[in-house]
Structure 1
Amino acid sequence: MSKGDVVIETAAEAEATAKAPYWDPPPAPLLDTSELKKWSLYRALIAEFMATLIFLYVSVATVIGYKSQSQAEACTGVGFLGVAWSFGATIFILVYCTGGISGGHINPAVTFGLFVGRKLSLVRTLLYIAAQCLGAVCGVGIVKAIMKHPYNSLGGGANEVATGYSVGGALAAEIVGTFILVYTVFSATDPKRTARDSFIPVLVPLPIGFAVFVVHLATIPITGTGINPARSLGAAVLYNQHDAWKDHWIFWVGPLIGATVAALYHKLVLRGEAVKALGSFRSTSATV
């Protein structure tokens, strides 16, 4: 092969690479203990801790403030709409701020869904969830310290199954709500979408924040809207009353099921990996 042929072949390879529609990162290893030696992991854990702390402080303070204001007069305060905006807008801000450091999960269900989708190792998944839960407890602790009397008398922002709804209905609401959120996360961060659409960084956290907003509008009357086990745990730990713990399992089991279904739906159906695997199996069988 002549030198000219090598240059032409190299240019052709470079052009083919440039025209590649997108590049999918390889699946994350299940156990990657080498991460424990990297500062980037601990920086991400700090970011998740702080983001979840801020999220719980703002959102639970909004809930307590609304209940306190509406107690005196029913039509005062931000209302359910304002509470939903508080949760959704805060997530939008925090995902925008921390997305480049930790991915901006701020939710064990999101982290677990990404683990199911092979985007995270088991080590990072467990440490993220621990950091998020600790941040949630600290965030609600700040609310309780500042708003002690209304916090204790108005339910502490804890998630409970509302009167008139069954445990099964509440579980279904948490599953569907978390599915919508995690499905949005996968869609917004899909490298195929990033390659196809003009990439504007603010567009990633925007649909995620809106997903949180619309799910809260739908499920606040049912469960107070969990869809985030750390949010539910932080409020339950600080309020620490029977009603907060009675059906607490719903706010873990529901989100984890919803996140799993969303991850599998995106991976196997929307990205067509089930069809690709079936096609590969058929082509292999034909050549045997």
Structure 2
Amino acid sequence: SATVADRDGATALTSAAIGGLETGSPEWHLLVTYLEDVLDCCESLPGDLQACLSQYRELDARCHASVADLERLAASSNSSESSAAVGVSVQRAVARLQELGEEKMRLAGLMIACDNARCAIEWFHFRCVKLTSEPKGKWYCPDFFDRLRIGSRLCRVALAELAATFLLVSLCLSASANCLVSRHSSSSSGGGAEDASVLMATIGSGLALALAVYASFGVSGGHVNPAVSLALLAVGRMTLLDFLVYQAAQYLGAFAGAGAVYTFYAPMLDAIDGGRRVAFGANGTAGVFVTLPHPSASLSIVLANQLFTSAAFMLAVRAVTDGANANPATGLQPLLVGLSATCLLQCTLPVSGCTLNPARDFAPRLFASLAAGYGLPLLPAVGPRAFWAPLVGPYLGCALGSLVYELCFHRQLKVFGKSAGVNEVADDEAADGRGDGELKKLMMVDRATSKMQISDE
């Protein structure tokens, strides 16, 4: 707008264009239309913007005058005038141009250039991008960061689940490695050290889960657990395609997390087992990567314990994320999930190892067997240490816990109301003269509403 000609010049150009219409050239028709639009735009501008345009034209005229002075000084530099006098005049002309430029910037408002070479806009007003001062270093416009967002939803959730599961497993295994190293480096071998290591492992794993869920909650829902994804699939809250994508990302992230922990702790494991990668026993180090049940526990006890703890964990997850129930603040939900895991780990860890997450056990177990040198001892098919027990138990337990919560809690909240129990609603039905037919209608409406919510999700 600052380069638009003044009204008199535009009017004269319009008159010339109208005169050229007699030639019948289509270019003249386009020129007339363009100039009429420009004039209409200038006339419809508010008074303050028209004043800005006038000031811009005045500043442009002064800039042209200063440039003409510089050209005159450049031409006179070859004459008899002293070079010192010419230099002073040039400095004054440059200073005037700088002042005029600053005046233009003040008039238009402070602007900043995007450091992205391919930016379509390039220059932005401070107020348009919510800046109050010039940032230090490189600055990129909001459009640049919007382009970094992955377009495919499945790719976004897969990346989030992979990264969050990597974070979870690497931190959980690091907590286990710290416990192992501290037990072997401690001078005392009493029960106190063992109790402290168990407490350290449970708290570390619970906080790691909360951190991983916080990181991925807004992108993928913060599953970071293949059993949780299966539980949501079982109640119709995930599609089969989403479930498969989540599974692949979670196991890949867990495998990579095991590799990272092994890289960090390999020298300390060598100091314990002498580099022979002993799986079990006094100098065994496989407990860093796999969950180990109590030596006296049978396979049936291990499976039952895995089933119970996983079901309780999934019930807690559904409870703290159910908006129709207590509905804690969204920012507290990942923390409550982590605290629930800490509670279950503290209560049942010595019995079965309390996996809760099949990716946390199976992927590191596979890495330790194939890449870390532990071999087949970590893949037994029978006995309480059977590799499939911490894999199958959490899957079945989480699916069971989700179904129990759906039938015993979530559905009851939706059918009978959030604050009323079955007996209270039945009494209200009788008092109002309504029978079982009304209850059946209410349940049919609830089923239809649930289907609509699932399809929306």
Indicate whether the TM-score tops 0.5.
Answer: yes
Q: Which of 402, 419, 426 does residue 263 from structure 1 map onto?
A: 402
Paired residue for 2:333? 204
Paired residue for 1:19? none
Paired residue for 2:387? 248
Counterparts of 1:275 and 1:48 in 2: how far apart (Å)? 30
Paired residue for 1:232? 361
List alignment gaps of at least 5 residues for structure 2: 1-149, 270-276, 279-284, 370-374, 381-385, 416-435, 442-457
Displacement, 1:280?
A: 7.5
- 1:217 equivalent to 2:359? Answer no
Q: Which of 57, 65, 76 does residue 178 from structure 2 map onto?
A: 65
Counterparts of 2:437 and 2:368 in 1: how far apart (Å)? 54
Output the aligned Cα RMSD.
2.6
Identity of paired residues, percent? 23
Q: How many residues align?
A: 244
| Aligned residue identity for 2:249 | A
Structure 1 residues 2-40: Cα deviation after superposition (integer angstroms, max 9, x where no partner) = xxxxxxxxxxxxxxxxxxxxxxxxxxxxxxxxxxx9612
- 1:138 equivalent to 2:267? Answer no
User: Which structure has the higher relative contact order (CA within 8 Å, separation 6+)?
Assistant: 1
Paired residue for 1:53? 166
DSSP 3-state at the match of 2:379: helix
Counterparts of 2:243 and 2:438 in 1: how far apart (Å)? 32
Structure 1 residues 76-135: Cα deviation after superposition (integer angstroms, max 9, x where no partner) = 585101100111011111212211100001100111111112111111011101110010
Describe how 1:1-288 pairs up with structure 2 within 5 A.
39-73=152-186, 74=189, 75=192, 79-151=197-269, 152-153=277-278, 154-155=285-286, 156-193=288-325, 197=327, 200-240=329-369, 241-246=375-380, 247-272=386-411, 283=440
Counterparts of 1:101 and 1:79 in 2: how far apart (Å)? 34
Counterparts of 1:81 and 1:59 in 2: how far apart (Å)? 13
Displacement, 1:160?
A: 2.9
Counterparts of 1:280 and 1:38 in 2: how far apart (Å)? 49
Displacement, 1:271?
A: 2.1
Counterparts of 1:223 and 1:254 in 2: how far apart (Å)? 10
Structure (1 or 2) with the greater helix fraction? 1
Counterparts of 1:227 and 1:243 in 2: how far apart (Å)? 22
DSSP 3-state at the match of 2:324: helix
Counterparts of 1:71 and 1:214 in 2: how far apart (Å)? 26
Change (3 A) 1:137 1:283: closer
Counterparts of 2:249 and 2:438 in 1: how far apart (Å)? 41
DSSP 3-state at the match of 2:171: helix
Does structure 2 conserve the Cα–Cα contact (< 8 Å) formed by 1:136 and 1:231? yes
Counterparts of 1:281 and 1:131 in 2: how far apart (Å)? 46
Displacement, 1:137?
A: 0.5
Change (3 A) 1:283 1:225: closer
Displacement, 1:225?
A: 2.1
Displacement, 1:231?
A: 0.4
Paired residue for 1:4? none
| Aligned residue identity for 1:244 | L
Between 70-79 and 215-224, report the one with greater CA deviation: 70-79
| Aligned residue identity for 2:203 | W
DSSP 3-state at the match of 2:208: helix
Between 145-154 and 184-193, report the one with greater CA deviation: 145-154
- TM-score, structure 1 length as denominator? 0.77
| Aligned residue identity for 1:127 | V
| Aligned residue identity for 2:220 | S
Counterparts of 1:102 and 1:80 in 2: how far apart (Å)? 31
Displacement, 1:60?
A: 0.5
Does structure 2 conserve the Cα–Cα contact (< 8 Å) formed by 1:161 and 1:167? no
List alignment gaps of at least 5 residues for structure 1: 1-36
Does structure 2 conserve the Cα–Cα contact (< 8 Å) formed by 1:159 and 1:244? no
DSSP 3-state at the match of 1:165: coil
Does structure 2 conserve the Cα–Cα contact (< 8 Å) formed by 1:268 and 1:274? no
Between 144-153 and 77-86, report the one with greater CA deviation: 144-153
Counterparts of 2:229 and 2:305 in 1: how far apart (Å)? 20
DSSP 3-state at the match of 2:317: helix
Does structure 2 conserve the Cα–Cα contact (< 8 Å) formed by 1:49 and 1:135? yes
- TM-score, structure 2 length as denominator? 0.50
Please tell me whether Structure 1 or Structure 2 has the larger radius of gyration of its CA atoms.
Answer: 2
Counterparts of 1:116 and 1:60 in 2: how far apart (Å)? 29
| Aligned residue identity for 1:140 | A
